Amino acid sequence: MDYHGISVLDEPIAGRRYFLDPTSPEVVDLVAATSRHILESYPALEGIQLDFIRYYHYHSRFTVLAQELGHTLSLLAEGSPVQLVVGDKRVTFFLEQKDMLYHDPPLGKELHFHRQFSYCFCSRCIEEFCRRQGAVLPAELQSTQEKAEWILGHLGEAWVHFRAQVLEDLLAEVRRAVKGVGADKELSITVWYSSPYGSELVGRAADLDSAVWDFGQDWWRWAEVGLVDFVCPMNYWLTTESFQMVIAKQRSRLKGDLPLFSGILRSPEHPLSGEELTAYLEAARRAGAAGLCFFHYGTWRDLDWKVGKAR
């Protein structure tokens, strides 16, 4: 359940994506048991790689030009929910700011909508957080959003650490399951380098701490306490210079010699030639990475790295 009290069961992300709640003991058992089952069923596998071990986060915004919206403007007050419907898919946004030219005649200027996809504020997560913190929410708080606002406003840092600890507890159970199959089996995780996604593409500097604040991924600590055998940061959409700089910062935070394989993405919007891939690999090595992690197979298989061009 997000900041506004909307469940992914009612509104899946992008109309199709659902998430499991890591505070649920049943979810923890399921992920650990599934990891064990995979390794026992396919003995040749060397380990398990956890991709989406994070809380989904995105603060979505859009603006509507409202000069010709007419008397419909009178229906909209700040905080009003508005649904976008595409076929059988829907997503709710909330009016954050209403800018008017005139009220009579009804001439609007801009309507600013937002949705804070921040998780999880379901009753179980809030109750577990309060139990661990010894916190008591004010009795007058009724809605999920009121409770979320109070928690983030009064106990924001504790909330960040709570979510990171929840994921750490899940990771510990998965590691026990993996190592229970064989001491030589490895566990790795995919982690984000910054929030929001593609920050450099819109002129924002990478913020490594945002992985903890927005996604709950305190992965330097997870590495330090020995929960993973190597890490794969998704260092996507970066120039080779930024790629090297981000990896160097990540490497400097990792204690010891835990291997880091930097994620690199290739897509129709972000094509890479063989020569460019070589440049990224060299940048990764200079920064201290053990190698690269490719996302995803379907976009890389047509690349002839030896001749440096696509077939």
End-to-end CA gap in the chain: 46
Strand partners, 57: 118
Q: Return phi, psi of residue 106, to 5°.
A: -75, 90
Cβ neighbours, 10 Å, residue 223: 22
On whether the CB atoms of residues 250 and 208 are closer than 8 A, the answer is yes
- The pLDDT assigned to 116 comes to 96
SS3 call for 62: strand
Query: Helices (H), strands (E): how many in the chain?
Result: 9, 11
Residues 6+ positions from 183 with CB-CB distance below 8 Å: none
89-102 sheet: strands from edge to edge: 57-65, 107-118, 89-102, 81-86
- The pLDDT assigned to 308 comes to 42
Residue keyed to tokens 């129709």: 268
How many Å apart are CA 16 and CA 108, to the nearest integer? Answer: 34
- The pLDDT assigned to 307 comes to 43
Its pTM stands at 0.92
Low-confidence ranges of the chain (pLDDT < 50): 307-311
How big is the CA angle at 188 (ends 187 and 191), to the nearest 5 degrees?
150
Cis upstream peptide for 196 (omega within 30°):
yes
Residue keyed to tokens 């049943």: 26
How many Å apart are CA 210 and CA 193, to the nearest integer? Answer: 8
How many Å apart are CA 9 and CA 3, to the nearest integer? Answer: 15
How many Å apart are CA 39 and CA 42, to the nearest integer? Answer: 5
How many Å apart are CA 264 and CA 308, to the nearest integer? Answer: 17
- The pLDDT assigned to 306 comes to 62
How many Å apart are CA 167 and CA 258, to the nearest integer? Answer: 20
Residues 6+ positions from 58 with CB-CB distance below 8 Å: 117, 196, 197
Strand partners, 73: none
- The pLDDT assigned to 311 comes to 36
- The pLDDT assigned to 304 comes to 74
